[in-house]
Amino acid sequence: MSRSRRTIPEELLLLALDPATGTTAQPQSLDLGLAGAQLVELALAGRIAPDGDRIAVVLPRPTGDPTLDSALELLRRRGSPVRAVNWIGGPRLGLRQTYLSHLERCGMVHAIENQMCGVLPTTRYQATDTAVSRQIRARLDTAIRTGTPPDARTAALAALAHAVGLGKHLYPGNEGRSSRSRLRDLIRHDPMGGLVAHAVMDVQNGVAGQAAARRQAQQQQQQVTERTPATVGPAPAAAAAGAGKGVAAHGGGVRVRSRSLSH
């Protein structure tokens, strides 16, 4: 893969990086967005393709980007197309830090070690090449300002920025309301970006967890059904007769009241 331009995960992270504080905006949802951005980048590289609401590997050949290739290999090992919402909602521990460290190695950011309250060690990141960040932001601003359909890469980046909640970071306050609205509308210009962005929002809304809970409940019900023997044929005559004479509860058991029949 050519390194003449930044990948979408890298661009999304640079957009989220606050130049004043050295921290990333929306850190929790940003992790989901980075996982989704990997899918978009792999799709643009021709390695995966959407299959309904699922993602299928169509070319398992490595891209040359270690982080993307790791994601591609995990998708390949699944053996069958995976739902985008399940992939994005899966464990992604350290993905944001992985990309921050990568950008540091590339000279895009530098780490600043500090302490919180004079005790807890913290690390902040400052962009070293602000021109790249400005170019990324300018692409979004142009698409929002002109209303012209952007290229697939910019459309996907806009969709992901909206999905993780970066709109209020990029276009804050009441004056940024219309820009945030137009940022959201850009989601329709790239099918893959739209699929992934909706999956990111679904995970945040708990859709993936609800679906998993439903599947677990269905499996448990099936197991109970398989263990319970089915009743075949009519009820025994004695039971039917007892039902006609009445059944009375007695302690922890059942006592059947009976009376003699005169002939």
Residue 138 has pLDDT above 50, yes or no: yes
pLDDT tens digits along 196-205: 999 999 999 9
Contact 89, 113 (CB under 8 A): no
Residue 262 has pLDDT above 60, yes or no: no
Q: Which positions ≥6 away from 217 have C-beta within 8 Å?
A: none
Residue 237 has pLDDT above 90, yes or no: no
CA angle 149, 202, 86 (to 5 degrees): 105
Give how far Cα 84 sits from Cα of 13, 31, 34, 37, 56, Å. Answer: 20, 15, 13, 11, 10
pLDDT band at 125 (very low <50, low <70, confident <90, very high): confident
Say whether pTM exceeds 0.85: no
Task: Note the Cα 217 to chain centre separation in Å.
Answer: 22
pLDDT tens digits along 73-105: 999 999 899 999 999 998 766 889 899 998 998
Tokens representing residue 222 in the block? 């099936």
Task: Note the Cα 213 to chain centre separation in Å.
Answer: 16
**pLDDT for res 2:** 41
Task: Look up tokens 């390194």; give the residue.
Answer: 3
